[in-house]
Amino acid sequence: MRVVTIVGNRPQFVKAAAVSAPLRQTFEEILVHTGQHHDDELSAIFFEELGVPEPDRQLGIHGGSNTEQTARMLDALAGLLAELAPGMVLVYGDTNSTLAGALAAAQARIPVAHVEAGMRSFDRAMPEELNRVLTDHASDLRLCSTPTAMANLGNESVAGESVLVGDVMADVSIRFAPIAEERSRALEEHGLEPGAYVLATAHRAGNVDDPERLALLVALIESIPGPVVFPLHPRTKARLEEHGLTGRLEDVILTPPLGYLDFLKLTRHARAVLTDSGGVQKEAYLLGTPCVTMRDTTEWVETVQAGWNVLVDLDAQAALAALERDIPTGERPELYGGGRAGERIVEALAAYTPAS
C-alpha cells in the first residue's frame, strides 16, 4: 500500500522520525512537506539529525492567517492526492498541515490515520484544539498516545477505530537521549552547569501574539533567579522585537532555535523546564526534569498528575513557587508507551481494514 505522510512543522518532523523508518519496511511512503516551517533552524536540521527521509514533495506553503494557510494547503493537497492516489494518508498532531491533510484526504475518500489523536486541552481558543478535534472526526484510524486520549475520543463518540499505541515523541527522545549526551556541546557552548539553569521555550499564539500576555511572559522570565536559557522561536522573536521587549531579557541567554540534540541535552540537564510547548512537557517528563507550564490547561495531564509538571499560566509568583518545589521521588510511571509507538502504528495500519 502507498501511504502519503503529511508533515509541516518542527514537532511533526520529530514525530516522523519514529514512524517513517518502520513504515517503509512494510509500505511505500511518500513524504509531503507542506512548508509550514520552512527555515533551516525549524526544518532542515531535524531531517539531518534525526534521519527523517528527504521529503518527496515540498508544497512551500507558509505565512498568512490560519484560515488562509489551511485553505492554500487544502487546495494544493487535493491535487496532489488525486495524482498520488494513496491507499492511506497519515497525519500528525494538531497543526494546519494536520487538518488540511486530513480534510483533503477525507474529501477524496482516502482513509486517514491520525497520530497523537484524542489529545484535548478543552480550550477552543487554541488554534491547535480546533485542528485536533476536526482532524479526529475526519479520520478513520486514530492512533492514541495515552489512555486519556482514548477516553476523550470515547466521550465524543467519534466514529471509526481508535488504537492505543503510545507516544511517538517518547520513541524519539528515548532513542536520541544517549546520542545527544555524547554529541551535543550545548552546555559548554552556553556556559551552563548541569542542574543549575532553567530552560525556557514559548511560542503559543495565546502567549506571544497578545501584547499584554507577552509582557506578562517577559516579566515572568525576567523574575527567575539564576541562569535561564531561552531558545527563541521565530514567532516569539518577531513579537518581542515588534513590542521593544527584547532588551528586557538582557540577563537571559537568548539563542536561536536549537537543533534536537542540543535541545534534548539541555532539557535533560536543566534544573527545570519552563514552557508552553506540548512536546517539551512530555520530553521533560521522559528525561526526569521538572516542568513548569505557562498555560492554564494541558493535553498531557498525566505529567501533572504524576507531580512532574505544574500549570502556572503567566503568573510569575506561581512559577517561582513551582520552580522551588521538591521534585517527586521514586520511579516515574511509564506514561507514554516505552518507545515502541512507531512499530505499533505500523502494525495498526497493517491491520486496518477500511469500513465498506
Smallest distance, ligand UDP to C-beta of residue 104, A: 21
Long-range interactions of 126-133: CB distance < 8 A, separation 24+:
126/204, 126/205, 126/206, 127/66, 127/96, 127/205, 128/93, 128/94, 128/95, 128/278, 129/94, 130/99, 131/94, 131/95, 131/96, 131/98, 131/99, 132/93, 132/94, 132/98
203 tagged catalytic: yes
Through-space distance between the first and last CA atoms of the chain, rounded to whole angstroms: 17
d(CA 87, CA 41): 33
CB of 72 to ligand UDP, least distance (A): 21
- Distant-in-sequence, close-in-space partners of 349: CB < 8 Å, separation ≥ 6: 1, 3, 23, 26, 27, 88, 90, 113, 141
CA dist., res. 209 & res. 285, Å (int): 27
Spell 270-299 as b/e; 16+ CB within 10 A means b: bbbbbbbbbbbbbbbbbbebbbbbbbeebb
Between residues 79 and 288, which has the closer beta carbon with respect to ligand UDP?
A: 288
Q: Which of 8, 11, 86, 127 binds ligand UDP (CB under 6 A)?
A: 11
Per CB under 6 A, contacts with ligand UDP among 218-257 are 231, 257
Give me the least distance between CB of 125 and ligand UDP, in Å please. Answer: 16
Least gap, CB of 100 to ligand UDP (angstroms): 16
Contact between 167 and ligand UDP by CB under 6 A: the answer reads no
- Contact mark string toward ligand UDP, 255..294, x via CB under 6 A: --xx-x--x-------------xxxx--x-----------
- Of 83 and 182, CB closest to ligand UDP: 182
- Distance in Å, CB of 14 to ligand UDP, minimum: 4
Contact flag: residue 92 with ligand UDP (CB under 6 A): no
Which one from 203, 233, 243, 269 is the annotated catalytic residue? Answer: 203
Give the nearer residue to ligand UDP in terms of CB position, either 231 or 337.
231
Give the x-and-dash track for 181-220 against ligand UDP (CB under 6 A).
Answer: --------------------x-x-----------------
- The residue among 327, 337, 351, 43 whose CA lies nearest residue 169 is 337
* 300 scored as a contact of ligand UDP (CB under 6 A): no
By the criterion CB under 6 A, which residues form the site for ligand UDP?
Answer: 10-11, 14, 169, 201, 203, 231, 257-258, 260, 263, 277-280, 283
Active site residues: 203
